[in-house]
Amino acid sequence: MCAVAYWVRVAFIFAGIVIWPLSDKTQLVDPLFWLTSGLILGGLLSEPLWRRPMWLYSLLTAIACVYILLAGMDAAWLVPILLAVYPFARTSSGQWQASALPSALVAASILCSPTGIAATFVWLLTTVILFYMMWQFALWQRQNRQQQEKIDELQYEQKQLRRRFLEHEDAAKQRERTRIARDVHDSVGHQLTALMMQLQVAEMKVQDPVIAEAKQTARTALAEMRSAVRALESEEERGVAMIIRLIRKLEAEGHVRVTFTTEAGALSVPLSEEQNVALYRFVQEGLTNAMRHSYAKEIDVHLAVVGKRTYVATLKNEAEPEAVREGFGLTQLRNRFEQLHGWFRASNEDGMFIVEGAFPIERTTAIENDSFS
């Protein structure tokens, strides 16, 4: 939208300059006309390089006014008027100060021009009308932006509530699994233990291979039951499985699209507990930042093993071009990766917020990974 508005401004100014020679074709051979036109169009094309375009438009307005006064043109004030009111339309809050200086330059130039009173009044009225129109347009932009920000905030709060609900749901499931595991251990476990003791007593009294086999079966069943209870009580996903579960949670909310891609080895390579936690926290913090600060709708997550020795995680999302300031979350991520003898980087490049982290894979892990490939 901003790019379209920019090129519309350039097109209007270009059309206004093209109209200049229509009243006096001798301007086409006047070097001052070409110099002025080149300066105005070149200045417009350099607008993205200016931190405060107000000063650019003030300078271009002054150049246009000086040329019109020197050339003695009576009906060429449209270009400086447009140059004067454009900075006002660019402001996000409709601040009249943005166009105060260039508008004053235009008004003073019109009053100093040798045109008649009627023409002077018409051009001054045109300046006021365009200024008012741009003021209304800037106010509409501000209201629209504020409304969009409120919508984004409400969507973010909805995501937070949805995430808390899912976390509470997971906690309730975990409590239920723990209760079931405890009940199984207290009932079935004790009964199997009692059965083993009875079979052992019977084996001592009667030397029967059937009793010995039954005792061994009971012992195996008890071991498997204890293993199942431990797995049920501490059921927890790790590594990439945790990341996929997190992404599914976010996509279930319906407000963000996460593209998750991996390269060969990223899923199969075994990682330590610390590496799994760092990887999960990396994706979690990256997704949270993307939704909290930039309200991103699309996020790219990429995992890869580089050179079979380094695990690299990358997260990208669209964001406003601004300097990156690491808060508590990003600082903690940096510490995690540095503790793993790796590196961490957060940057803003070409309208994309990029977070990258990497850590070395243990030599034994890499060898095992080679055997899989």
Q: What CA–CA distance (Å, rounded) separates 13 from 8?
A: 9
List beta partners, residue 349: 352
pLDDT at 123: 65
The hierarchical CATH code for the domain 240-372 is: 3.30.565.10
Under a CB-based contact definition with an 8 Å cutoff, are residues 360 and 337 in contact?
A: no
The alpha carbon dihedral of 326, 327, 329, 335 has a sign of positive
Tokens of 118: 């009627």
87 CB-near residues (< 8 Å, 6+ apart): 53, 54, 57, 58, 98, 99, 102
pLDDT in tens, the chain (373 residues): 456 667 777 787 788 788 777 767 777 888 888 898 888 888 888 887 887 777 888 888 888 888 888 877 766 777 777 777 776 655 544 455 556 667 777 777 777 776 666 566 666 666 667 666 666 666 777 788 788 888 878 877 777 777 777 767 777 877 777 788 777 777 777 787 888 788 788 878 777 788 888 888 888 887 887 777 776 655 455 567 778 777 777 766 656 788 888 887 788 888 888 888 888 888 888 887 777 665 667 889 999 998 888 999 999 988 777 767 777 778 888 898 999 999 999 888 877 888 999 999 874 344 344 433 4
The DSSP call for residue 228 is H
DSSP-H helix ranges across the chain: 2-23, 31-45, 53-71, 78-90, 97-112, 117-184, 190-205, 209-233, 240-252, 273-293, 328-339, 363-372
Query: Which phi and psi (to 5°) does residue 330 adopt?
Result: -65, -35
* Distances from the Cα of 211 to the Cα of 194, 225, 264, 286, angstroms: 15, 21, 52, 60
The alpha carbon dihedral of 26, 32, 33, 35 has a sign of positive
Name residue, tokens 């109209």: 19
Prediction pTM value: 0.41
Q: What's 133-175 look like in SS3?
A: HHHHHHHHHHHHHHHHHHHHHHHHHHHHHHHHHHHHHHHHHHH
Tokens of 166: 């899912």
3-state SS class at 303: strand
Count CB neighbours of 293 within 10 A: 15
Query: Which phi and psi (to 5°) does residue 294 adopt?
Result: -115, 0
Q: Provide the phi-psi class of 254: left if phi over 0, else alpha when psi is between -120 and 50, else beta.
A: left
